[in-house]
Amino acid sequence: MTRLILDDVTLTYPDGDRTLVALDRVSLAVRAGEVRAVTGASGSGKSSLLAVAGLLQRPDSGVVRLDGDELTGRSRREDAEVRRNRIGFVFQQANLLGSLTALEQLQLAARVAGNRRQVTDERCRDLLAAVGLERETARRPHQLSGGQRQRVAIARALVNDPALLLVDEPTSALDSARSREVVRLLARLTHEQQVATVLVTHDLDTLDLVDSRTELADGRVVAAVTPR
Amino acid sequence: MFLALRELRSARGRFTLMAAVIALLSLLVVILSGLTAGLAAQSVGALDRLPSYRVALSAAPGQDGFATSTVTTRDVDDLARTPGVLEADAWGVTTDRIDEDAVAVLGAEPGSALAPHTLAPETLVADRSLGLEVGESVPIGGSTLRVAATVDGDLLNHLPAVWVPLDVWQSLPGSGGKDATAVALATDDTFDPAEAPDGLEILTRTDARAAVGSYAAENGSLTLIRGLLLAVSALVVGAFFTVWTIQRTADLAVLKAIGARTTYLLRDALAQAAIVLVVGAGTGALVGAAAGLAVSSKVPFVVDASTTLGPLLLLVVLGLAGAAAALRRVVNVDPLTALGGSR
């Protein structure tokens, strides 16, 4: 089942007198249970693709669909609602809130989505256990290693049972062993929970762990490897 | 308040410092309020105790209007005939001495609505702070009057007051040969001040406070200081939450990226500000009230809801306004910035 579709998406930015094309008629499809890596050099449009897929930015043209629903052309409020309930984000530096423990990071994400009752403490603890952090639930970000912080971020992204997981360079601050650990975990959870995962990365050493790959250059798709 | 409480716990040093600053400001505001009310009671206590609602003076209200006002018996009669006036009583106000103590001498016709009901011819009613005993004979001016009663809080211009019959008052050197200083009026709803005789200014009892010299001088200065303190409080709280919000910009971007409503974030941030304000201002108000109670026997200081809860609420409301102004930034945080190098 195809969960995410980007169809002929173009995104431009004003750049002085010129117009910078961040995404040039990009098309992409990600199935449930699939991790699709998006690679490319700096400025190739990887993060722009993530921003459009995550409804953080509106494309100039083209269509974004999630589970068959067209998501382009909606209000900001509706975009935020989709982000709350159907999309999970893992950011580059984990971006955990410094004042919260690992468990509270998940609890807050559930509250923000209005899922305070549905997402119990038990579910949060189970998710932290699933990422190997059952003993670190009461630790704050500064008490965790870089890899552990990313694992908390992955658990937080999954807490509201999203259809789509958008992951922005999760291994940029990790050594190669930790990087493989994190991507392997992402792949396992993606398969188990049948989410569609878009993994933006420049880390070519972990690509053997993903299901498919799209390579961007200057905002265009220059290579695509379909799922195995 | 999930996030608000946890941030308070996590950054307790910063918030404690902020609450301490608010507590000190609150302490100052409460002390000033208590002192202002205490001084006001000493300045216009006798005026506040009048049974009448309005006062007629011959001069426009200003610094020491009671010292310069002169009314005649004809003014009193004219006012008594004005529609809506239920009773018009001549009121003498001057100063004199009893033994060595300076006193405010208030003259009224015994049996009038204005006079204390215990006041009879050849008697006086004195403020208790003078230490006079009921039945004691007291020389005043050229007369000797018997103390009919003593009362609490009859003070004017920081002097203890004695009520004497109007004819005794008129014989005092301080009366300057006037019939009276002012007219106390009992009126009904149909009374229109514009229909009062020419040359008389009709004031409510509250407005008449400004015509008492000491009250106008003290109250104006202290109220200005209190107002400035409240303004400083709002600015300090606003500045603190501006810096705090700037420090949280990255967190706010992440929360917005994962779909947090702006109203959720604003509510949470305002709740945080309210907690800091209530704890800080409440502590300051409690300390201020305790200090006021401790010194109230030696210093003119009033501890009641208007000098403690009133300033406390005002401080919290103004602080929240300052915080709300600072929290405009929450609305403007772009969730896109949560993505590293989104371009």
- Per-residue pLDDT tens digits for B286-340: 999 999 999 988 888 999 999 999 999 998 999 898 888 888 888 888 888 888 6
Chain B: closest CA distance from residue A6 (Å): 18
- pLDDT tens per residue across span A138-165: 999 999 998 899 899 999 999 999 999 9
Q: What is the mean pLDDT of residues B44-64?
A: 77
pLDDT tens-digit readout, A96-110: 999 999 999 999 999
Does residue B209 carry a pLDDT above 60? yes
pLDDT at B51 over 80: no
Contact A56 B335 (CB under 8 A): yes
Q: One-letter amino acid identity for A113?
A: A
Structure tokens at A52: 């459009």
CATH code for the domain in which residue A181 is found: 3.40.50.300
**Confidence at A24, pLDDT banded by 50, 70, 90:** very high
To test the contact with chain A by mutation, choose from B6, B247, B258, B261 the residue with the greatest count of A C-beta atoms within 10 A, namely: B258
Q: What per-residue confidence (pLDDT) applies to B309?
A: 94
Q: Which residues contact A34 (CB under 8 A, 6 or more apart)?
A: A190, A196, A197, A211, A212, A227
Q: CA B129, B132, B135, B137 torsion: positive or negative?
A: negative
Q: Are A55 and A83 in contact (CB under 8 A)?
A: yes
Confidence of residue B159 (pLDDT cuts 50, 70, 90): very high
Phi, psi of B299 (to 5 degrees): -125, 140
- Mapped to the 3 state alphabet, what secondary structure does B102-156 carry? EEEEEEECCCCCCCCCCCCCCEEEEEHHHCCCCCCEEEECCEEEEEEEEECCCEE
User: Would residue A107 count as lying in a domain?
Assistant: no
Residue A141 lies inside a defined structural domain of this protein? no
Per DSSP, which regions of B182-285 are E strands? 182-187, 201-204
- Per-residue pLDDT, averaged over B20-35, amounts to 93
Q: Give the pLDDT confidence score for residue B59 in this predicted structure.
A: 65
| A142 domain residue, yes or no | no
B7 and A CB contact within 8 Å: yes
CB B289 within 8 A of CB B25: no
Q: Do A98 and B335 touch (CB under 8 A)?
A: no
Flag whether residue B250 sits within 8 Å of chain A, measured between CB atoms: yes
Percentage of residues in chain B with pLDDT exceeding 90?
52
Examine the pLDDT at A43 and tell me if it is beyond 90.
no
Considering the domain boundaries, does residue A12 fall inside one?
yes
> For residue A228, is pLDDT > 60?
no
Contact A84 B257 (CB under 8 A): no
Judging contacts by C-beta atoms under 8 Å, the chain B residues touching residue A104 are 2, 6
How close does chain A come to B239, measured CA to CA in Å? Answer: 21
Residue A9 in any domain: the answer is yes
CB interface of B with A, residues 297-336, below 8 Å: 335-336
- pLDDT of B214: 80
Cα(B182)–Cα(B72) distance, integer angstroms: 9
What integer pLDDT is reported at residue B342 of this predicted model? 40
> Does B267 contact chain A (CB < 8 Å)?
no
Task: Kindly determine whether residue B339 and residue A109, on different chains, have CB atoms separated by under 8 Å.
Answer: no
Q: Is B265 on the interface with A (CB under 8 A)?
A: no
**Distance (Å) of CA B337 to CA A94, B252, B302:** 13, 10, 54
Any domain includes A114: no
Which residues on B lie below 8 Å from A107 (Cβ)?
A: 2
pLDDT, tens digit, 9 for 90 and up, residues A77-92: 899 999 999 999 998 8
What domain range includes position A191?
A: 2-99+163-225
Q: How confident is the model at residue B341 (pLDDT cuts 50, 70, 90)?
A: very low
Which token pair is B175?
A: 């009366």
Å from B267 to nearest chain A CA? 12
Whether pLDDT at B63 is above 80: no
Residue of B nearest to A57 (CA): B336
Rounded mean pLDDT of B194-205? 87
Residue A94 confidence (pLDDT) above 70: no
Does position A30 have pLDDT exceeding 50, yes or no?
A: yes
How confident is the model at residue B343, as a pLDDT?
33
Specify if A157 maps to a domain. no
Task: Tell me if A22 and B343 make a contact (CB, 8 A cut-off).
Answer: yes
Whether residue B2 lies within 8 A of chain A, CB to CB, comes out as: yes
A71: closest CA of chain B, how far (Å): 15
Report the gap between the CA of A99 and the closest CA in chain B (Å).
5
Hey, CA dihedral for A149, A154, A155, A156, is it positive or negative? positive
Nearest-by-Cβ selection for B336 from A56, A99, A107: A56
> Across the interface, do A56 and B261 touch by the CB < 8 Å criterion?
no
CB atoms A47 and B256 under 8 Å: no
**What's the whole-number average pLDDT of chain B?**
89
Dihedral angle over CA of B120, B122, B125, B129, nearest 10: -170
Report the gap between the CA of A110 and the closest CA in chain B (Å): 10
Nearest chain B residue (CA) to A157: B258
ipTM above 0.90, yes or no: no
In three-state form (DSSP H/G/I as H, E/B as E, the rest C), the secondary structure along A117-167 is: CCCCHHHHHHHHHHCCCCCCCCCCHHHCCHHHHHHHHHHHHHCCCCCEEEE
Residue A152 CB coordination number (10 Å): 28
Is residue A134 domain-resident? no
In this complex, which of B11, B250, B259 lies closest to A112 when CB atoms are compared? B259
**CB–CB of A51 and B264 under 8 A?**
no
How many domains would you assign to chain A?
1
Q: At what angle do helices B249-257 and B262-295 cross, to 10 degrees?
A: 140
